[in-house]
Structure 1
């Protein structure tokens, strides 16, 4: 009897051990916990767990920004996934800008998995302001905020389009933009984020507003990616909004094995429609956004795209 008891205990132990080995742990480095991108990371973690029957568990880590995410890719393990704009990966691999004197051979091993919602520029103005185009912001009070991508990008556009010194820039935190717009303290505000942006939804609730479109010429001048926010995204928005965006992509490295990259990528796309039902920002993500990836795609992810019938460029393979 003792022999059989020992045998059963050993069998159970082996089964538990094998189950433990079957489960893959992924670290997903995202953004600040207060950002929409952290919320997206949590949704991806839940989607992957659901799609793989808990065979892959994603743990979300807070980050202070995309540069930190890229830098950590050189020292983290094989199952490290992080988000960043493709442009930063290119800068890291070339040792330029913020990566000058901080280059690392490991940066050349970074590989893309799948796109996530882009940072879309929103130029939000009240209907009462009478602003219908970018040039009509002249003489108006506009809130840029500070310290964010949207604030920096907004300031760049003001200078680029000849409005520097011609706009009354409100000295108010972006967190106060919605009440300030509704109370008439400002004529508009600039914000960036995946659409639909929560602060724009809030502003559109009970207040008639416009989200400005940029011309094709202005988009070319900006050197950013063109993005269309479909009509109906915001209350009272009857037409498409043409604006600029900063693409964002989930990356890993060649250290991640092909099967894990394949399963992770498959889980994302398989669950995207369900994620869209609860969080509308996923509706704007499609395989067309793979064209925003300037570097190489992970071979495991590429295998899944091949199965989907999606053609990658020679530079991405």
Structure 2
């Protein structure tokens, strides 16, 4: 073999090896929330965990999103590499063509499948200790900051109405970003926020001034028609007992376009690395297999394979 031919063969071999290595990497797009939000940060943490947990075999690109509805709608144009987050209830609405999906139905929605739960949106009613408020009924006559345009603001307003407090509470005209300073300065008695616990703004508030995070009774939780969630004692400074509150479950989904092996690898890697994720950000510690019961629709067959191997029970409707 002459030198020129040897060089050509060597170059071909190197190219083949490079292509093989490239093809071994599975690329996934993860779409969650707006840049700067806790859920976008979770996406970044998940991407790092997937890369480390698979020795680089799975590469996750995190995309900014304008919200859960957009995430669901994009299913129509996305391929098998698409993973997105949304409350399971929105998937049901999309598949039924209801509410914000009325007149926008698409067969692609029927192909949505769940992978694993992520931290829930958790309601926090945060009151200054000086306000003397220790339960929801004590909000009467107080000044509360709800913020604007967020899930927490909408949910908080709904709860005030449900519990007959709408006309008894003064709503502060300010952004939620000003809540901690306003609470510390005594401009407000409390604020309402929704986010994965421990919520950064609640941590900040509890660290800067004595606060009480309110618990709800079982009857109040039932009235909201949301999922009950317990924030363990010690989560926030000065919190000596568990807090009973409500939550909106959030789940990572894909579609049947994703192959079973990739769905299996994503799901297994998530659960295998959840403890490490919790060491990085405590909000991951609130996720456990029991939260799979919040998934009313179907789970991807690849993920089902993992759960069956791990001995985690699923309902027949989820398989």
The residue number in structure 2 matching 1:312 is: 314
Question: Whole-Å Cα distance in 2 between the matches of residues 143 and 83 of structure 1?
Answer: 28
Matched residue count: 317
* Matching residue of 1:48: 50
1:66 to 2:68 alignment:
yes
Deviation at 1:10, TM superposition (A): 1.2
Residues 262-283 of structure 1: per-residue CA shift (max 9 Å, x gap)? 0011111111111110100000
**Which residue pairs with 1:289 in the alignment?**
291
**In structure 2, how many angstroms separate the alpha carbons of the residues matched to 1:267 and 1:206?**
37
Residues 221-257 of structure 1 deviation map (CA, whole Å, 9 limit, x = unaligned)? 0000000000000000000000000000000000000
SS of the residue 1:315 aligns to? helix
Offset from partner CA, 1:164-183 (integer Å, 9 cap, x none): 11101111111100000000
Matched, 1:88 2:90: yes
Structure 2: runs of 5 or more not aligned = none
3-state SS of 1:74 partner: helix
**Who is 1:153 aligned against?**
155
Match of 1:32 in 2: 34
How far off is 1:61 after superposition?
0.3
1:277 matched to 2:279? The reply is: yes
RMSD: 0.6
Q: Where in structure 1 do 4 or more consecutive aligned residues deviate above 6 Å?
A: none
| Whole-angstrom distance in 2 between the partners of 1:108 and 1:248 | 18
Give the TM-score normalised by the residue count of structure 1: 0.99
Distance in 1 (CA, whole Å) between partners of 2:208 and 2:125 is: 18
Q: Encode CA deviations 1:25-58: one digit per residue, 9 max, x unaligned.
A: 1000110002100000000000000111111100
Structure 1: which 5+ residue stretches go unaligned?
none
Other-structure match for 1:116: 118
Once the two structures are TM-superposed, the CA of residue 2 in structure 1 deviates from its matched residue by 2.3
Q: Secondary structure of 1:312's partner?
A: coil
Deviation per residue, 1:87-109 (Å, 9 max, x gap): 00000000000000000000000
TM-score, length basis structure 2: 0.98
CA distance in 1, matches of 2:22, 2:137: 61
Is 1:169 equivalent to 2:171 in the alignment?
yes
What is the rounded CA distance, in whole Å, between the counterparts of 1:221 and 1:151 in structure 2?
A: 18
Q: Tell me the residue number matched to 2:267.
A: 265
Instruction: Find out whether 1:198 has 2:180 as its counterpart.
Output: no
Q: Partners in 1 of 2:23 and 2:189 — Cα distance?
A: 58
Deviation of residue 187 (structure 1)? Answer: 0.4
Q: 1: distance between equivalents of 2:145 and 2:8? A: 72
- Return the match for 2:256 from 254, 257, 264: 254
* Residue deviations 1:169-228 (CA, integer Å, cap 9, x gap): 111111100000000000000000000000000001131110000000000000000000
